[in-house]
Structure 1
Amino acid sequence: MVPKRQPTASLVRTTSPVLVGRGHELDALRETVTRQPAVVMIEGEAGVGKSRLVHELLRPGRLGPLRILIGNCQPLREPFPYGAVLEALGGCADRLASRPQLSRVVGVLAPMLPELADYLPEAPVPSGDPRADRHRVFRAVRELLAAVGPTLMIIEDLHWADDGSRQLLRFLMADPPPNLTVLVTYRREDVPGGMPLGTAYRPPTGITSMLVHLAPLDAEGVRSLAAAILDEETVSADFAAKLHERTAGIPFVVEETLRALRTTAGAVHADGAAARRLLDNVEVPVLLRDAIAERLSELPTAANRLVQAAAVLGVPATAELLGSVAGIPDQRVRAALGHALAGHVLHEADNAHYTFRHALARQAVYDTLSGPDRQQLHLRAIDALDMVSPRPLVQLAEHSQRAGRLADWLRYGEAAADRAADVGDAATATALLQRVLAEPSLSSADVDRLAVKLGQVAHTGLDQFNPTATMRRLLGDRRLSMSARGEVRLFLGLLLIRQAGGVASARSEIELALGDLGERPALAAKATSVLAQPFTGDTPFAEIEPWLRRTDELIDSCEDEEQRIMLLANNLGSRLHTGDPTVFGRLSLLPQTAYTAATQRQLARAYCNFADACMTVGHFQQGADSLETGMRLADDCGAPFVASTARATRARLDWFLGEWTGLAERASKLLEEYHDLLPVASELSLVLGSLACARGEWSEAMGYFTNSGAYAPQEAISQIAIGGCAGLARAWLAQDDITKACADIDRGLALLRHKQVWTWAGEILPVAVTAYVRAGRLADARAIVDQTEAGILGRDAPMSAAAVDSGRGELAEAAGDLGTAVEFHRSARGAYEKMNAPYYAAMAAEHEALCLLPSDGAAAAAALSTLIDTFDGLGATRDAARCRHLLRGIGGVKPSRRGRRGYGNELSPREQEVARLLAGGHTNREIADVLFLSPRTVEQHAARVLRKLGVTSRSELHAEDFG
């Protein structure tokens, strides 16, 4: 009699009964998620144990009264925005019944969450603009989450999220309700661009945050994991070492390998060669290929076919859909599914949808299929999914391609891209269009249509680089017609302008596009107005001016309102950049209202572009007013790129206006968000460099100034690069390196002279004169002042005009004519004050005070005393310290308004400055140089800082804690 075979599942557990090697992470998670509001991000490669860690966190009794909401992202997602977040929100119905009434905006969620519809207000009337409606959804989700009490929302597998979910999560994580913890898991290697939220994310101040990086287990961790799975006190070190080698320490692979081993627990006590033989007999491929094949061999035929169907579908599916794709009769599906679940091959993902426990397992099954079997299953998937409403176009496109149905693949791929574009999911749309365009059998008409769509969609999205490469390739494709070639080339040029290293070639592409746009006058006009912008690259104004005149003519003859506003949006700002004194009078050409979303976007551009030009030439208040209007219009109509440039303009305008409180943090966040957009990133870098320079943080300042384009003017935004050169020179001057300061000034002035746009001299001219005077290059100093004064004659350029006065004053100082110097510096100060530029006015006032010193020491001392308050109020640590040093040098003492106070265990203002510099990694000597103190004094301040803060080392200090 043949002995009855024992079930293999009884020989070895499939998972560890305890969490191994993650105790520290689990403890930290438990503490963090309950300190609301909080943000937790768990990253790690496939199979490393992210979901297991979350499962352990959710064990009963660990999180108290927190409501748990869970959403899962899928690999073959349809372009349905916010899908993962909406899935999570479906679990909060019971908390809404007894909550206060929600505002009407929350009603926008009712069609998306029918299970909550009874608890939600009536939906507001749609605005008609997808982006405005999106903002309503974001607000509604935040209010809904705020209403359900203490909540932990978990979004698993963020690397598969749609753009909408990423944007919504970024919105929530930037300002979560006080009762919310957001926890996300993701595989960084599978995240588009390496950023799980689509752009760089930095938790805001005041939000509890935690980033958990789960690494594979080391050999000792694998040994503990194996012992726990096998229910043994220990396993041999040799067995564990070999197991670690074969599995790379990935917990899920360890678990599956031990199951595939099919041996008794006692066998793993073997050591040396015996352990090696045991594991060598188990084929443990990458991604569990053989282990899964072993499991499949135990399943009945019908269950095997069901599992294969699940592998082909690739997303959680109902039993009915699995059975349809597998070709299994309805009455046998339940039994087949039961075997697949009992064999731990499939598991229930959620709500009667079934898939694999891990993507690696799914791939392993898929790889076991022969070519004909795969094709047949993909064909069945097409037939089954074609009956679903709404049709899952992304999946249909994928299955059509894999099944070899080229025509269907192209049809579904384009339709899926269109749907994605309609709902604002540009990433999915561009990815699909690029894949479709890679098909060599496309007709010329197909290539034309799809290439133009790609350009249009990519121009609105965040992915700039991949579409750029595709569009470059298409320009060499003979199937692309002349008309489409011009449009593709134009969009390529517009994308290149936004990219580091692309500015020079962008202009060439747009000029070439004009030759192909003879039959597209509207697009040709757009190209002309872009070529008329003076600030991109190092093209001299002499070459820009004809394009400006041509744009004027196009505006005068244009009858289409949207196109006319588009041309004005480019033209008005461009002309003000050059100091055209008639521009303010031409603002009346802009309509007061816009009646379509497209026209409103162009009007938003017009006001924001004009604000940028106002700021550059020195009309700060007019710039602020125009920017407010433009940002409001951009928010109302949904114009993300316009909003990005406007936010950068706002940051730099705040620098000029002296509104520095919180500016560094705000600009840093914007830089993280828009780091791939050259015009935005370079301007923000200039702001951050200027702030760092005013604080005396030279290394940080120079890093930012370098990123402003100062060293690559042909690939930069011209006025930003000139400002970067000025900033670099100012930092070198503060460190008494005159040679390097002059080198940076020479580079900046070379660009200014080449461009011949003298309205951009406002920031660099005063620094240039200082550097040249200190270097003994008086002729060069006089020359640049004279050139600037001549260059702005008859131009509207208040910033440069004030700079000329400042330069004349310093030249008079160098000549020993202090009376004349005082007059020029006083005139510059008055001009800066009229512009409401307090930092620049203070620097002019400091020059004025020093020139007064020999003749009126008391007035000079009083002025320096006032300037200390001014610079301190701005946050210009270095400048305030310099004025204190100067005041001490003439025997003056800064009077206290309230008498000298004791700070006890609080940090004094000076200690705050020292603490910030210590946290930034500065040495005592460097801090002494910045604050004009002796190293001994700094040492005493540093000791008090550490004592008052209760830390033993300066490495425990964090710069963000000290502003």
Structure 2
Amino acid sequence: MSAAKSAGGPARRPDLVPRLAVPRLAGRDRDLALFEQALDGRPGLVVVAGEAGIGKTRLLHELLPRRPETALVAVCPPFREPYTLGPVVDAVRRLAGSVAGLPLTGLAGALRPLFPEWAEHLPPAPEPLPDDAAARHRLLRALAELVDALGVGLFVVEDAHWADETTLELLLLLRARWEHGPRLVLTYRPEDVRPRSPLRRLVAQAGVTRLEPAPLDTAGTADLVSSMLGGEPVSVEFAEFLRAHTDGLPLAIEESVRLLHDRADLVHEDGAWLRRDVAELDVPPGIREAVLERISRLRPAVGRALAALAVLEGERPPALVAEVAGAPPADVSAGLAEALAGGLLQEDREGRVSFRHVLAARSVYHDLGAAERGRLHRRAGRALEREPVLRAAELARHFREAGDPARWAAHARRAADDAIASGDPRTAFGLLLDLLVGGAVRGAAVAPVVQRMPLYAAPGDDPLRALVAVLRETAAGELGDEERTEATWQLARLMFHVGDPGNAAAAMERAVPGLVRDRPVAAVHAMMMLARPLGTTHPAARHRAWLERAGRLSRTCPGSPQERLSFLMDRAATLLVLGDPAGWAAARDLPDAGETPGELLQRARGFANLGEAAMLWGRYDEARRLLDAAAALAEEHRHLRLRDLVGGTLAHLDWLTGGWTGLGRWAATALDAGEPVLRADALLLTGQLDAARGRHREAAEKTRSAAATGRPRGPADGFRDPSAVLARLALAAGRPAEALAATDAAWRLVEAKGLWLWAAEIAPPRVRALLQEGRAGEAADAAGAFAAGTRGLDAPMATAARLLAEALLARDGGEPLAAAGLFEEAAAAWEVLPRPYDALLAREAAARCRLAAGPGGPAGAPAVGALREVFAGLTALGAAGDAERVRGALAEAGARVGGRAGRPGYGDRLSPRELDVVRLLVEGRTSAQIARVLGLSPRTVEKHVQAAMRKRGAPSRTALAVAAVESGDVPPAARRRPPPSSA
């Protein structure tokens, strides 16, 4: 290379302009070798990660022709709402023209919604399942069967960061059966993965081979440029110039060379490449600018073809591109040929064309004016409506961008139905929400759309609040009486969902008269929602009146057996939450019949609600029986979301009853779940475990996070109310005013409603906080109100809490021996439930009172003995922080116990903390994820990993995981409480 003429020099002859070739793979020999080695090794998952333009797809496409396996390649498009399993469905269609003759079982009938054109060759459709997660799981198993029947050896997903969640769940399923299925290969951009995407869990598993192509160095840049220029050498100066301006990104290097070529800044003369002086070269800083400048130099026909292809996205036949472009096919074909020759496009074996890189397509698309984009989307939608296989989500996208609300709404509704049939309610919710917020549906048509929306699949409260705004505007508009009733009813339901119970109740009451007149079954549902004493400050009598009114209406209005069972289940649970013992009789009188799918779902849901109500009363044996029944029904009939939610309640029950082993594992899985309720449960539980272990700051952070996650919790949630946990943490830190502030709102709500059973968790810490603030009179009043409000109830929880409050008052009143007796009575009451942790803390308080009454007296020795027993109990339970506090009390009394709590010598055995880390490591979690779950720093996690590797003689993290499983360090998960799924 040598200096050429300046820009103002003589014009260059056309025959001197170099012809550019598609670059060969440069600087990737090591990556390619590692890739092949990974695929030749044990079956598993190979991921290629890196930024856009780094060469992930090129590396993959270089490898695939060398492989003997049948490859199924799914390419995920950058749609705002990816359609359910679309990339996989398209890939299967490309691979197989038909499923005729394939060895498929009846399970494959579930594939009919995805492949309607193959219906005659697929088994009959199976019975529909009432649970979305179960339907999705069945569909995914059917897809896995189809993949096996097609003989797929490599299952490739490109740009997995854009994949819909159901596609990612299919990958998780295939990964779980890696010994029997195809090898998996993914390409993705780590920076574009959503925070809670299943992709994060997939790529973090053990046994994943990860390739991360690095930017090209100067030598690699020179090699790539030389391959575009006929193999002629490239100077180090020019290669370094390009590398510096493109950060070594292969796509940026290629686009820069092509732009220099289009500008005629490169010429060939006397057997050598010539260029201007490097200082005179102007290379755009980004790929977009380079692509757009190159396109501006092409003929207008090429630009029209590229614009149409950018709007269509993906691989398209030239005839379709011509129709969307609105240009003669011959002109478009010539334009596409020119773009192919210029390296902007690529062509597959079937003659379909596509952009070589999505960045080029996005550059062209975003450079279009709004009016031109709209016209092209309208043409694309109308052309695709004539295709033999319609993709409703894609059509909805085109007509949305075209500004055609009627067609947009029609296709979005169909796409939502397809998503729900595929077990993907989140996508369905997003499609319908887009309709409503975008104004495609207005007036009387709004409420029916909301009615069909799977509200439980909303990704947080913000989308629901947007729906509330739409419905509020609709209800205030021009509507008939029936339509206004329906809109108000839907508005009230949504406001309950988003935590606005006061306004929700008011709207619900406005809707009731119209519902009674037109839809009595819905009116019963509305009255039952008003009967639930949650969120509002209405007195209990008002809720009870709505409950009785719902009962009267239910006896006269027509309703299905499923609806009747739902009412009876809800009535029993509502009575118990209202503190009415009649709820127990109502629960005993529930019918045993009901075997339809809908009735079985109601039974499972009803048992779950009754189990939670039983926990509020402190009847833990009854609660476990009901919750186990709910979990068994949910598992048997594949109500997976309900099963997971019941699993969260059982985890809390295990915490209360002292079954702490395995809670950390359950919580770690729940934290990765997309269900906000499960995340809140996990945060609250891990916070309580941290508090018991003496990590109070971490406990407070997690408890506050739990309060901000999912729906708001209050005193009616009892054991799930974060305010009670925060109050206890504040008291442990010596901040009684903070404890009072934490319980103020809950206490006022209990007072307003007169539902004192709800105060069982908050009454003792509130009384203690008032006493520490010197407000003994208010403390006595609070304890008295709680005792009066729960008197006569056969509620073991209330009994234990009342005794504890009385003990606190006696201790503050200078009666240590009386207080000791009451603390011991409270401990015995806690044991009845059982709540061993609370019983141990009450026994500790009793022993301290006896020591305070006279350490040298006759009560001193038994008190020390009691503290020794408490120390042993807390240590066995895992409450190391509390045990350490008891050790201090024993030391003050002149007694000693061996070794410091929580720091024994373990020799070659793994310590409890090392076991916690290794168990999460076996699940495939990174150090950062383990640190987040356990409340440690990543550096501390690494120390535990290294210590465990040393003890097990493991040379790597993978070897440690294998050794942990083989040695039994990681026991099998308990069957009774399955970990939550990602559904």
Question: TM-score, normalized by length of structure 1?
Answer: 0.77
* Corresponding residue to 1:758 among 756, 759, 766: 756
User: Partners of 2:709 and 2:407 in 1: how far apart?
Assistant: 50
Q: Spell out, residue by residue over 1:743-799, the C-alpha distance to the aligned partner (whole angstroms, 9 max, x if none).
A: 435565444434432212332233334444555544344333222111112334221
Residue 728 of structure 1 is matched in structure 2 by 726
Say whether the 8 Å CA contact 2:679–2:709 is kept in structure 1: no
User: Partners of 2:40 and 2:447 in 1: how far apart?
Assistant: 46
Q: Spell out, residue by residue over 1:873-903, the C-alpha distance to the aligned partner (whole angstroms, 9 max, x if none).
A: 332221233334444444545579xxx9974
| Pairing of 1:349-748 with structure 2 (within 5 A) | 353-366=352-365, 381-382=380-381, 384-400=383-399, 407-437=406-436, 447-463=443-459, 464-466=461-463, 468-477=465-474, 478-499=477-498, 502=500, 505-514=503-512, 517=515, 519-536=518-535, 540-541=539-540, 543-560=542-559, 561-588=561-588, 590-635=590-635, 642-643=642-643, 645-674=645-674, 677=676, 681-709=679-707, 718-719=716-717, 723-745=721-743, 748=746
Which range is displaced more, 687-696 or 155-164? 155-164
Q: Spell out, residue by residue over 1:370-395, the C-alpha distance to the aligned partner (whole angstroms, 9 max, x if none).
A: 89987776565455433333322333
2:283 alignment partner AA: L
* Corresponding residue to 1:165 among 164, 167, 176: 167
User: Partners of 1:813 and 1:66 in 2: how far apart?
Assistant: 77
Q: 1:728 offset after TM fit, Å?
A: 2.0
Say whether the 8 Å CA contact 2:218–2:236 is kept in structure 1: no
| Pairing of 1:908-927 with structure 2 (within 5 A) | none
Q: Spell out, residue by residue over 1:810-859, the C-alpha distance to the aligned partner (whole angstroms, 9 max, x if none).
A: 43444555554444333333332232322223323333444565545554
1:394 alignment partner AA: A
User: Partners of 2:50 and 2:443 in 1: how far apart?
Assistant: 39
Say whether the 8 Å CA contact 1:825–1:848 is kept in structure 2: yes
* Corresponding residue to 2:77 among 71, 74, 77: 74
Q: 1:48 offset after TM fit, Å?
A: 5.2
Q: Spell out, residue by residue over 1:433-468, the C-alpha distance to the aligned partner (whole angstroms, 9 max, x if none).
A: 3444467686xxx64234422343142423453354
- The SS at the match of 2:585 is helix
With over 3 angstroms needed to count, the CA separation of the structure-2 counterparts of 1:184 and 1:496, relative to structure 1, is farther
Residue 878 of structure 2 is matched in structure 1 by 875
With over 3 angstroms needed to count, the CA separation of the structure-2 counterparts of 1:267 and 1:833, relative to structure 1, is farther
Residue 932 of structure 2 is matched in structure 1 by none
Q: 1:800 offset after TM fit, Å?
A: 1.7
1:530 alignment partner AA: M
Q: 1:915 offset after TM fit, Å?
A: 13
* Corresponding residue to 2:57 among 29, 51, 56: 51
Q: Spell out, residue by residue over 1:493-546, the C-alpha distance to the aligned partner (whole angstroms, 9 max, x if none).
A: 4344444x6555544444454466453333332222122222336555455443
Say whether the 8 Å CA contact 2:305–2:325 is kept in structure 1: yes
Residue 799 of structure 1 is matched in structure 2 by 797
2:390 alignment partner AA: R
User: Partners of 2:162 and 2:202 in 1: how far apart?
Assistant: 22
With over 3 angstroms needed to count, the CA separation of the structure-2 counterparts of 1:743 and 1:225, relative to structure 1, is farther
With over 3 angstroms needed to count, the CA separation of the structure-2 counterparts of 1:904 and 1:121, relative to structure 1, is farther
| Pairing of 1:249-260 with structure 2 (within 5 A) | 251-260=250-259
Say whether the 8 Å CA contact 1:503–1:537 is kept in structure 2: yes
Q: 1:586 offset after TM fit, Å?
A: 0.7
With over 3 angstroms needed to count, the CA separation of the structure-2 counterparts of 1:373 and 1:790, relative to structure 1, is closer
Q: 1:491 offset after TM fit, Å?
A: 3.4
1:787 alignment partner AA: A
Q: 1:627 offset after TM fit, Å?
A: 2.0
1:622 alignment partner AA: E
Which range is displaced more, 583-592 or 798-807? 583-592
With over 3 angstroms needed to count, the CA separation of the structure-2 counterparts of 1:877 and 1:633, relative to structure 1, is same
Q: 1:583 offset after TM fit, Å?
A: 0.8
Q: Spell out, residue by residue over 1:41-67, the C-alpha distance to the aligned partner (whole angstroms, 9 max, x if none).
A: 8464x5454434655787969xxx998
Residue 134 of structure 1 is matched in structure 2 by 136
Q: 1:690 offset after TM fit, Å?
A: 1.3
User: Partners of 2:405 and 2:125 in 1: how far apart?
Assistant: 43
Q: 1:316 offset after TM fit, Å?
A: 2.5
User: Partners of 2:440 and 2:83 in 1: how far apart?
Assistant: 30
User: Partners of 2:45 and 2:539 in 1: how far apart?
Assistant: 51
Q: 1:417 offset after TM fit, Å?
A: 3.6
With over 3 angstroms needed to count, the CA separation of the structure-2 counterparts of 1:80 and 1:712, relative to structure 1, is closer
Say whether the 8 Å CA contact 2:611–2:623 is kept in structure 1: yes
Residue 939 of structure 1 is matched in structure 2 by none
Say whether the 8 Å CA contact 1:158–1:196 is kept in structure 2: no
- The SS at the match of 1:10 is coil
Q: 1:622 offset after TM fit, Å?
A: 1.9
Structure 1 unmatched ranges of 5 or more: 922-926, 931-941
With over 3 angstroms needed to count, the CA separation of the structure-2 counterparts of 1:770 and 1:60, relative to structure 1, is farther
Say whether the 8 Å CA contact 1:558–1:564 is kept in structure 2: no
User: Partners of 1:688 and 1:350 in 2: how far apart?
Assistant: 55
With over 3 angstroms needed to count, the CA separation of the structure-2 counterparts of 1:775 and 1:471, relative to structure 1, is closer
With over 3 angstroms needed to count, the CA separation of the structure-2 counterparts of 1:128 and 1:892, relative to structure 1, is same
* Corresponding residue to 1:288 among 284, 291, 299: 291
Say whether the 8 Å CA contact 1:397–1:409 is kept in structure 2: yes
Say whether the 8 Å CA contact 1:670–1:684 is kept in structure 2: yes
Residue 10 of structure 1 is matched in structure 2 by 19
2:699 alignment partner AA: A
1:459 alignment partner AA: L
Which range is displaced more, 786-795 or 461-470? 461-470
Say whether the 8 Å CA contact 1:812–1:821 is kept in structure 2: yes
User: Partners of 2:484 and 2:191 in 1: how far apart?
Assistant: 35
2:294 alignment partner AA: A
Say whether the 8 Å CA contact 1:614–1:623 is kept in structure 2: yes
State the structure with bigger RCO (CA 8 A, min sep 6), 1 or 2: 2
Residue 156 of structure 1 is matched in structure 2 by 158
- The SS at the match of 2:314 is coil
Residue 935 of structure 1 is matched in structure 2 by none
Q: 1:693 offset after TM fit, Å?
A: 1.0
| Pairing of 1:818-833 with structure 2 (within 5 A) | 819-833=817-831
With over 3 angstroms needed to count, the CA separation of the structure-2 counterparts of 1:430 and 1:188, relative to structure 1, is farther
1:70 alignment partner AA: V
Say whether the 8 Å CA contact 1:861–1:892 is kept in structure 2: yes
User: Partners of 2:110 and 2:918 in 1: how far apart?
Assistant: 48
User: Partners of 2:880 and 2:315 in 1: how far apart?
Assistant: 58
User: Partners of 2:634 and 2:210 in 1: how far apart?
Assistant: 34
Say whether the 8 Å CA contact 2:532–2:543 is kept in structure 1: yes
User: Partners of 1:716 and 1:223 in 2: how far apart?
Assistant: 66
1:873 alignment partner AA: A
Residue 904 of structure 1 is matched in structure 2 by 907
With over 3 angstroms needed to count, the CA separation of the structure-2 counterparts of 1:70 and 1:872, relative to structure 1, is farther
Which range is displaced more, 711-720 or 659-668? 711-720
Say whether the 8 Å CA contact 1:71–1:84 is kept in structure 2: yes
User: Partners of 1:750 and 1:756 in 2: how far apart?
Assistant: 10
**How many aligned residue pairs are there?**
904
User: Partners of 1:818 and 1:147 in 2: how far apart?
Assistant: 77
User: Partners of 1:30 and 1:506 in 2: how far apart?
Assistant: 61
Say whether the 8 Å CA contact 1:414–1:433 is kept in structure 2: yes
With over 3 angstroms needed to count, the CA separation of the structure-2 counterparts of 1:524 and 1:671, relative to structure 1, is farther
Q: Spell out, residue by residue over 1:131-183, the C-alpha distance to the aligned partner (whole angstroms, 9 max, x if none).
A: 33432234456688899999764422335434532443456668976988755
1:17 alignment partner AA: A
